[in-house]
Amino acid sequence: GEGEPLEIRETDLSVKAARNRYRLFTESTMAANEALNQTFPFNMINASGSIEEVRQVVMQELSYQSSLELQEDTYNAIKAIPTAAELSKGARQRLVARLDSYQKLHPDIFAMVIQAIQDEFLPVIRRHALVGEARICTRHADIFSLPGALDMAVDVMYDRGFCLRAEDRGQAGGGFNFKITYETPHLRVAAASSDIYPGAPGRLGQPETPTLPSPESKGRNSE
């Protein structure tokens, strides 16, 4: 063998003690490892082999992990750009603050933007409700050209669950193009949970067929 003999532990002899030790590992150590893995990715290493085998596995894992990390110079060059998680942190609070500021500081423009959304966006969205995307060439270029109007439209639509992208066509084309995307309903789930298929004791969407009396039964009944 290799190394020095280790003291025999209770978990080496008792199945009950071994199970309890494994339970404590899964409830405490494993949970902490999984939480840590969300921030610092790593892999668990099986250390049941020989010392040399475990050493090789550790070296391979370290080599792999180092290949995932940027060099210090590279990291320093790009670290000024925030990550998506950093940008999205607190995004809801900032959205609410902007909407409240529109209503407080620019109520007239804000009201015109909301009215344009109701008059122009909503009818198109309703026609494409199952598609998940609607495109609009606005007739209200004068409204959306006002200071802050495009930002207002983007924020209002996002608060309502839509993603709005605006494209300024400039003086040549005039006006703006809008692309609106949103989640679509799951039709099968919606149909299964609704009452649009009444009278269906068995298959969904197949109403029960009434049973007509046979000629023989008619004859017996008339007797």
Pick from 158, 156, 172, 166: which is nearest to 135 by CA? 166
The average confidence (pLDDT) of the chain is 80
Main-chain dihedrals φ then ψ at residue 140, nearest 5 degrees = -110, 50
Tell me the mean pLDDT in the region 91-99.
94
Tell me the mean pLDDT in the region 123-144.
91
**Residue 122 — very low, low, confident or very high, per pLDDT cuts 50/70/90?**
very high
pLDDT at 151 over 90: yes
Tell me the mean pLDDT in the region 171-183.
79
- Could you tell me if 121 and 156 are in contact, meaning their C-beta atoms sit under 8 angstroms apart? no
Query: Quick one: pLDDT at residue 221?
Result: 46
pTM of the model as a whole: 0.52
Q: What tens digit of pLDDT does each residue of 12-68 get?
A: 788 888 888 888 888 888 878 888 878 777 777 888 788 888 888 888 887 777 777
Q: Is 7 helix (H, G, I), strand (E, B) or coil?
A: coil
Query: Quick one: pLDDT at residue 194?
Result: 52
- Using CA atoms, how far apart are residues 94 and 98, in angstroms rounded to an integer? 6
Q: What tens digit of pLDDT does each residue of 195-219 get?
A: 544 554 444 444 444 455 555 544 5
**Residue 223 — very low, low, confident or very high, per pLDDT cuts 50/70/90?**
very low
Sheet holding 176-181, edge to edge: 133-137, 176-181, 163-168
- Using CA atoms, how far apart are residues 116 and 124, in angstroms rounded to an integer? 12
